[in-house]
């Protein structure tokens, strides 16, 4: 790369930081690496540079490479790592305009990482952490064979997103807490979950009975694993498995932490990408206005930006939908189009022209950024108006013996908004909890899917249970529901392709 | 805050290596699906080199994800664009045949691997090979491997000059000349070489130079004459291999309906393709029979049918004749594979011909009976297979709903093919020996 080009890039970089700061974006230092194409494709496939070896990354690499070689149409590629300093990548072959777009986009992502509360606990050293792990995993492969290692990696990958970063108590802390809580309840009235541990006959509760009950309570809690249902599946398996060797636990722990790193990113896809797109457009506008970029850059930028914001007939584009929603929020709070008075106004014309010159758009935006995930973002800001403005529709698949067609079914904005919001239920990741690690005293694992009107995908559910079995080594049970009918329990005992379905008695 | 640019990035092989891991998984998946793939009629009926598409499941990352639910409908999703309820936004053609309902849901991306038929053969038949193969010592079939430099000659073209051999020749001759000069003039060795150089290699001139004292201060060197030049000669490189011949016999009589012919051809098609891909040096002869047997070429064998009565014995007779005249068993590994529906007008003669063949000590005789209608003759009709079973003893095993028979002593294998899913186990049954790869 020529010195001149480099200097131009650095100038724009500093300009972008300045503009972003003036708008009130807070962000930690960023390092950009200018890298060749193949490196970019590799980082995109592996998500994090230096990540561990696995066939899935190889498959994705091949897929990305093929698309890039055959049909790459100029869509800007971006990868940003939430570390400190944040690390991002610029593909060497990009045009200057695209480099600027990517830099502006990345700055906003880093601001999102810095400002949003869900990212505050994230590990900031994922790159060295994973590249160290990668070296260890390679050793394991030499020692135990690729297939054996991949089996554990695949299994841990399958459930790595099931954790709860807000659940930071240890088991013994939880036990203490529940004990204290139950103790207090029992002292007041004998109706708690654990009341039947002791026969409270004549409602006469003296000190002795309470003492006896509490001792029994403590013993019961001590034997209960987990002491209360846990969403952190890998954590529980690592701590309680009799099946895993230390090296296997190492793999599980590394991938659990990787899952934790991605946890907030997966749950903020729309608000994060929307935020970054909103800001790269704003920043680029200023760069053009100040003539830092030329008119020929402008054509390039327009083209690439239109690819980023392309409509997709089969799914929602988070860059487009997210950024349009942010624009809507900013406009509403700039013009005061919110609150009781506005909502109660029935005059459409008046509503249209509503403008209190409040100018609190960005203030509101930053307030939302600090606390929201996609789920809440959609609940609070995907209005029926938004659905209409974005031309969103619902389609279903219709099958004939010869073909499948996809047909639009619904266009009622209220219904569509409701359905979209529902699809973000539990942040788009089904809530699965381990409730018993010693089911029927046989050391079997019992999981419950907390059904929220959305069914689990059958084939995926079964294969994931096989993965869990590979880690736990004993039968796995999963309670779930289909279409609000009776609860069922699926059991996998390790026998190939055999699943037993039991109906719940109640 | 900075922009960093390294001039050279370490070439990373990571993506490529892991892609190979994925490819291995694809191969495994193909191998697991082989039973379905191998029954594809389109593969057999098409001519020429072909690529086939194989749908592969099981290369997804499985997690707990949401599926369809009642309220929204099957395969529901959210899209964006202009359109009214009832508008079709997309279509996808279904693959004919095995679209099990419920298995291909939207977003369920079935990876379709497009593979070359040779590649398919290679991974499918990885662990299979012709059984009971012997090293026949008497004669060998020559298999051209390419070209090699073998002999050295005095004539040739300059690009193929053999520098070392030429140098050796020149040194030898120079030493000889020098000795001659020393002998003739009683000069020193040094002077002898110097004079040779001064005379440009002419020995008589060199002798007179010494004798006449005309020696001037020339260096001592080796002079190369035309006669010293040596050239490399190239010739065809050949490899010696044991001979092997496969005699493929098929019933094309009137009783062979469409389904039966299809099963027979499928089996033999894969067998022949396998032999062609994995062995360079196996000859395949094709025999068709009705009431009489004919030797035909491959194309006729696979694409043309006849009709008429059935005398299986004629095929075996022709095969026996071929063995006696062209493929004597002391020189050749002989494999016979017969495929038919078991109908035979004269089972006794047929079994006698088979017995003759076995007694010649050929390497293997395989008898495959196709029975797509699950024996519509009822119990009364005795097929050839049943007759053979009473003649020789077999160990049997059942696999995927059909029977396989084996008699190791007589190197006799049998199987019943009821539908296309049996083709693969049947091939495994015939080609049970692990192949030693080249």
* CB spacing of A408 vs B5 below 8 angstroms: no
Residues of chain A in contact with residue B5, where contact means CB-CB under 8 angstroms, are 1, 6, 33-34
pLDDT at position B438 is 40
* Under 8 Å between Cβ of B31 and A422: no
Burial class (CB in 10 A: 0-12, 13-18, 19+), B428: middle
| Cα-based distances in Å from B372 to B256, B369, B417 | 11, 10, 7
Residues of chain B in contact with residue A404, where contact means CB-CB under 8 angstroms, are 75, 91-92, 94
Q: Which of B66, B68, B71, B92 to mutate to test the interface with A (most CBs of A within 10 A)?
A: B66
| Cα-based distances in Å from A358 to A348, A361, A423, B188, B290 | 20, 8, 34, 116, 97
Long-range contacts of A296-303 (CB under 8 A, 24+ apart): A297/A95, A297/A96, A297/A97, A297/A100, A298/A97, A300/A95, A300/A96, A300/A97, A300/A98, A301/A97, A301/A98, A301/A100, A301/A101, A303/A74
Nearest Cα of chain A lies from the Cα of B401 at a distance, in angstroms, of 19
* CB spacing of A467 vs B1 below 8 angstroms: no
Residues forming a β-bridge with B283: B245
Nearest to A315 among B66, B78, B86 (CB): B78
Q: Is the Cβ of B98 closer than 8 Å to some Cβ of chain A?
A: no
* CB spacing of A45 vs B94 below 8 angstroms: no
Asked if residue A91 has pLDDT above 70, the reply is yes
* CB spacing of B5 vs A13 below 8 angstroms: no
How far apart, in whole angstroms, are the C-alpha atoms of residue A239 and residue A292? 56
Q: Which of A29, A397, A427 to mutate to test the interface with B (most CBs of B within 10 A)?
A: A397
Residues of chain B in contact with residue A30, where contact means CB-CB under 8 angstroms, are 1
Nearest Cα of chain A lies from the Cα of B298 at a distance, in angstroms, of 36
pLDDT at position B351 is 92
| Cα-based distances in Å from B248 to A220, A436, B254, B414, B431 | 75, 63, 19, 14, 14
Q: Which residue in B103, B97, B1, B104 sits closest to B40, CA to CA?
A: B97
How far apart, in whole angstroms, are the C-alpha atoms of residue A406 and residue B85? 11
Which range, of A3-17, A170-184, A288-302, A392-406, averages the lowest pLDDT? A392-406
Report pTM.
Answer: 0.69
Nearest to B63 among A14, A158, A409 (CB): A158
Nearest to B15 among A58, A425, A460 (CB): A58
Q: Which residue in A94, A24, A110 sits closest to B1, CA to CA?
A: A110
CA A204 to chain centre: 52
Nearest to A312 among B14, B69, B80 (CB): B80
* CB spacing of B82 vs A85 below 8 angstroms: no
Q: For B361-423, give the DSSP string.
A: T-SEEEEEEE-TTS-TTTTTSPPHHHHHHHHS--EEEEETTEEEEEETTTTEEEEEE-SGGGH
If you measure CA to CA, which chain A residue comes closest to B86? A408
* CB spacing of B92 vs A484 below 8 angstroms: no
Nearest Cα of chain B lies from the Cα of A252 at a distance, in angstroms, of 15
pLDDT at position B105 is 38
Q: Beta strand B2-5 with A30-35: parallel, antiparallel or unpaired?
A: parallel
| Segments of chain B with pLDDT less than 70 | 1, 7-12, 33-58, 93-114, 135-150, 235-242, 280, 374-382, 434-438
Complex ipTM value = 0.89
pLDDT digits (tens, 9 = 90+) for A465-505: 999 999 999 999 999 998 888 899 999 999 988 999 988 65
How far apart, in whole angstroms, are the C-alpha atoms of residue B132 and residue B1? 72
Nearest Cα of chain A lies from the Cα of B50 at a distance, in angstroms, of 22
Asked if residue A125 has pLDDT above 90, the reply is yes
Residues of chain B in contact with residue A314, where contact means CB-CB under 8 angstroms, are 77, 79, 89-90
Asked if residue A257 has pLDDT above 50, the reply is yes
Q: Is the Cβ of B32 closer than 8 Å to some Cβ of chain A?
A: no
A404: left (phi > 0), else alpha (psi -120 to 50), else beta?
beta
Which range, of A111-115, A181-185, B101-105, B359-363, averages the lowest pLDDT? B101-105
Burial string for A331-357 (b: 16+ CB within 10 Å, else e) reads: ebbbbbbbeeeeeeeeeeeeeeebeee
How far apart, in whole angstroms, are the C-alpha atoms of residue A293 and residue A97? 8
Asked if residue A194 has pLDDT above 80, the reply is no
Residues of chain B in contact with residue A1, where contact means CB-CB under 8 angstroms, are 5
* Under 8 Å between Cβ of B37 and A65: no
* CB spacing of B94 vs A401 below 8 angstroms: yes
Mean of pLDDT values over A175-185: 86
Q: Which of B23, B63, B64, B65 to mutate to test the interface with A (most CBs of A within 10 A)?
A: B64
pLDDT at position B67 is 85
How far apart, in whole angstroms, are the C-alpha atoms of residue A238 and residue A251? 10
Query: What is the number of helices (H) and of strands (E) in chain A?
Result: 20, 10
If you measure CA to CA, which chain B residue comes closest to A158? B63
pLDDT digits (tens, 9 = 90+) for A355-408: 999 999 999 999 999 999 999 999 999 999 999 999 999 998 888 777 788 899
Which uninterrupted H or E stretch holds B179?
helix B163-185
Residues of chain A in contact with residue B83, where contact means CB-CB under 8 angstroms, are 391, 393, 408
* CB spacing of B66 vs A455 below 8 angstroms: yes
* pLDDT bucket at A239, cuts 50 / 70 / 90: very high
Q: Count CB pairs under 8 A between chains A and B.
A: 235
* pLDDT bucket at A311, cuts 50 / 70 / 90: very high
Q: Is the Cβ of B135 closer than 8 Å to some Cβ of chain A?
A: no
pLDDT at position A68 is 83
Residues of chain A in contact with residue B110, where contact means CB-CB under 8 angstroms, are none
Residues of chain A in contact with residue B106, where contact means CB-CB under 8 angstroms, are 397, 406
Nearest to B92 among A154, A395, A404 (CB): A404
* CB spacing of A463 vs B62 below 8 angstroms: yes
* CB spacing of B21 vs A29 below 8 angstroms: no
**A59 token code pair:** 């498959």
Residues of chain A in contact with residue B91, where contact means CB-CB under 8 angstroms, are 403-406
In chain A, pLDDT over 90 holds for what percent of residues? 66
Sign of CA dihedral A57, A62, A65, A66: negative
If you measure CA to CA, which chain A residue comes closest to B73? A396
Q: Beta strand A432-439 with B282-289: parallel, antiparallel or unpaired?
A: unpaired
Residues of chain B in contact with residue A461, where contact means CB-CB under 8 angstroms, are 64
* Under 8 Å between Cβ of A280 and A78: no
Residues of chain B in contact with residue A416, where contact means CB-CB under 8 angstroms, are 78
**B343 token code pair:** 């109908």
**Where are the strands (E) in A402-461, listed by range?**
403-410, 432-439, 444-449
* CB spacing of B4 vs A32 below 8 angstroms: yes
* Under 8 Å between Cβ of A115 and A109: no
Q: Which residue in A415, A374, A411, A274 sits closest to B81, CA to CA?
A: A411
* Under 8 Å between Cβ of B280 and B371: no
* CB spacing of B81 vs A463 below 8 angstroms: no
Q: Which of B5, B18, B75 to mutate to test the interface with A (most CBs of A within 10 A)?
A: B18
Nearest Cα of chain A lies from the Cα of B317 at a distance, in angstroms, of 49
pLDDT at position B9 is 63
Q: At what angle do helices A361-371 and A318-335 cross, to 10 degrees?
A: 130
Nearest to A157 among B18, B61, B81 (CB): B61
Mean of pLDDT values over A85-112: 95
Q: What is the mean pLDDT of chain A?
A: 90
Nearest to A311 among B1, B77, B80 (CB): B80
CA A457 to chain centre: 18
* CB spacing of A410 vs B14 below 8 angstroms: no
How far apart, in whole angstroms, are the C-alpha atoms of residue B100 and residue A401? 11
* CB spacing of B77 vs A65 below 8 angstroms: no
Residues of chain B in contact with residue A396, where contact means CB-CB under 8 angstroms, are 72-76
If you measure CA to CA, which chain B residue comes closest to A396? B76
Q: Which residue in B338, B353, B362, B343 sits closest to B414, CA to CA?
A: B338
* CB spacing of B87 vs A483 below 8 angstroms: no
How far apart, in whole angstroms, are the C-alpha atoms of residue A104 and residue A12? 10
Nearest to B84 among A17, A408, A423 (CB): A408
Nearest 5°: CA angle at A345, between A340 and A350? Answer: 130
| Cα-based distances in Å from B331 to B139, B141, B225 | 6, 9, 51
pLDDT at position A168 is 85
Q: With a CB-CB cutoff of 8 Å, which residues 107-126 of chain B face chain A?
A: 108
How far apart, in whole angstroms, are the C-alpha atoms of residue A422 and residue A452? 9
């Amino acid at each position: 790369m020529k010195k001149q080009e480099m200097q131009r890039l650095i100038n724009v970089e500093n300009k972008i930081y300045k503009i972003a700061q003036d708008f009130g974006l807070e962000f930690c230092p960023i390092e950009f690496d200018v890298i060749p194409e193949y490196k970019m494709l590799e980082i995109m496939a592996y998500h994090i540079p230096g990540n561990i070896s696995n066939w899935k990354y190889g498959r994705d690499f091949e897929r990305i490479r093929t698309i890039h070689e055959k049909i790459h149409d100029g869509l800007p590629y971006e990868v940003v790592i939430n570390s400190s300093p944040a690390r991002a990548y610029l593909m060497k072959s990009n045009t200057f305009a695209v480099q600027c777009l990517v830099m502006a986009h990345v700055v906003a992502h880093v601001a999102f990482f810095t400002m949003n509360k869900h990212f505050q606990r994230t590990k900031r050293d994922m790159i060295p952490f994973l590249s160290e792990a990668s070296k260890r995993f390679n050793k394991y492969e030499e020692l135990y064979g690729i297939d054996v290692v991949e089996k554990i990696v695949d299994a841990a990958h399958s459930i790595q997103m099931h954790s709860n970063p807000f659940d930071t108590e240890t088991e013994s802390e939880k036990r203490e807490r529940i004990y204290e809580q139950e103790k207090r309840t029992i002292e007041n009235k004998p109706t708690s979950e654990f009341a039947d541990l002791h026969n409270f006959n004549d409602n006469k509760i003296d000190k002795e009975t309470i003492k006896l009950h509490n001792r029994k309570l403590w013993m019961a809690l001590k034997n209960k694993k987990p002491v209360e249902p846990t969403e952190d599946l890998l954590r529980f398996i690592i701590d309680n498995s009799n099946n895993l060797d230390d090296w296997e636990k190492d793999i599980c722990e590394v991938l659990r932490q990787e899952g934790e790193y991605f946890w907030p990113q997966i749950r903020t896809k729309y608000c994060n990408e929307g935020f970054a797109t909103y800001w790269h457009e704003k920043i680029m506008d200023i760069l053009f206005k100040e003539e830092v970029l030329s008119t020929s850059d402008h054509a390039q930028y327009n083209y690439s930006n239109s690819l980023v914001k392309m409509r997709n007939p089969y799914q929602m584009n988070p860059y487009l939908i997210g950024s349009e929603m942010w624009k809507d929020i900013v406009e509403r709070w700039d013009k005061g189009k919110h609150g009781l008075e506005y909502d109660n106004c029935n005059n459409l014309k008046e509503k249209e022209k509503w403008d209190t010159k409040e100018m609190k758009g960005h203030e509101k935006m930053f307030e939302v950024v600090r606390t929201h995930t996609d789920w809440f973002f959609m609940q609070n800001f995907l209005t029926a108006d938004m659905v209409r403005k974005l031309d969103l529709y619902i389609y279903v698949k219709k099958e004939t013996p010869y073909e499948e067609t996809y047909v639009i079914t619904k266009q009622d904005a209220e219904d569509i908004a409701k359905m979209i919001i529902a699809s973000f239920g539990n942040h788009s990741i089904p809530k699965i909890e381990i409730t018993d690690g010693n089911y029927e005293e046989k050391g079997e694992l019992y999981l419950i899917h907390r059904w929220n009107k959305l069914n689990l995908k059958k084939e995926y559910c079964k294969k994931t249970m096989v993965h869990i079995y590979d880690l736990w080594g004993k039968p796995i049970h999963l309670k779930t529901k289909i279409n609000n009918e009776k609860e069922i329990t699926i059991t996998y005992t390790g026998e190939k392709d055999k699943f037993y379905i039991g109906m719940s008695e109640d | 805050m900075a922009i960093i640019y390294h001039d050279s990035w370490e070439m990373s092989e990571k993506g490529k290596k892991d892609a190979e891991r994925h490819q291995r998984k694809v191969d495994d998946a193909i191998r697991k699906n082989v039973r379905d793939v191998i029954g594809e009629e389109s593969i057999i009926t098409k001519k020429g080199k072909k690529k086939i598409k194989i749908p592969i499941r099981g290369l997804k990352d499985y997690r707990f994800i949401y599926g369809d639910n009642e309220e929204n409908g099957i395969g529901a999703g959210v899209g964006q664009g202009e359109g009214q309820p009832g508008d079709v936004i997309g279509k996808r053609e279904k693959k004919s045949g095995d679209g099990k309902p419920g298995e291909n849901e939207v977003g369920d991306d079935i990876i379709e691997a497009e593979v070359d038929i040779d590649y398919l053969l290679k991974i499918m038949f990885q662990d299979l090979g012709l059984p009971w193969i012997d090293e026949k010592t008497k004669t060998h079939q020559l298999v051209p491997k390419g070209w090699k430099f073998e002999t050295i000659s005095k004539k040739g073209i300059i690009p193929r000059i053999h520098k070392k051999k030429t140098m050796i020749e020149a040194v030898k001759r120079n030493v000889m000349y020098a000795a001659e000069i020393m002998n003739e003039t009683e000069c020193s060795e040094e002077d002898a070489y110097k004079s040779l150089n001064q005379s440009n290699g002419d020995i008589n001139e060199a002798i007179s130079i010494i004798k006449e004292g005309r020696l001037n201060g020339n260096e001592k060197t080796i002079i190369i004459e035309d006669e010293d030049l040596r050239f490399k000669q190239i010739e065809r490189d050949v490899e010696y291999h044991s001979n092997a011949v496969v005699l493929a016999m098929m019933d094309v009589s009137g009783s062979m309906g469409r389904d039966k012919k299809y099963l027979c051809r499928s089996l033999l098609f894969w067998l022949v393709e396998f032999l062609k891909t994995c062995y360079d040096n196996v000859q395949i002869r094709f025999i068709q029979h009705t009431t009489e047997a004919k030797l035909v070429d491959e194309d006729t064998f696979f694409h043309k049918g006849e009709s008429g009565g059935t005398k299986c014995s004629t095929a075996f007779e022709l095969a026996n004749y071929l063995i006696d005249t062209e493929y004597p068993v002391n020189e050749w590994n002989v494999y016979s594979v017969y495929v038919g529906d078991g109908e035979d007008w004269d089972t006794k003669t047929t079994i006698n011909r088979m017995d003759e063949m076995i007694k010649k000590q050929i390497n293997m005789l395989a008898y495959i009976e196709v029975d797509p209608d699950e024996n519509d003759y009822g119990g009364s009709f005795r097929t050839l297979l049943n007759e053979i079973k009473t003649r020789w003893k077999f160990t049997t095993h059942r696999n995927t709903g059909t029977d396989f028979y084996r008699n190791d002593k007589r190197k006799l294998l049998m199987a019943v093919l009821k539908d296309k899913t049996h083709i693969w186990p049947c091939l495994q049954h015939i080609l049970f020996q692990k192949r030693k790869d080249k």
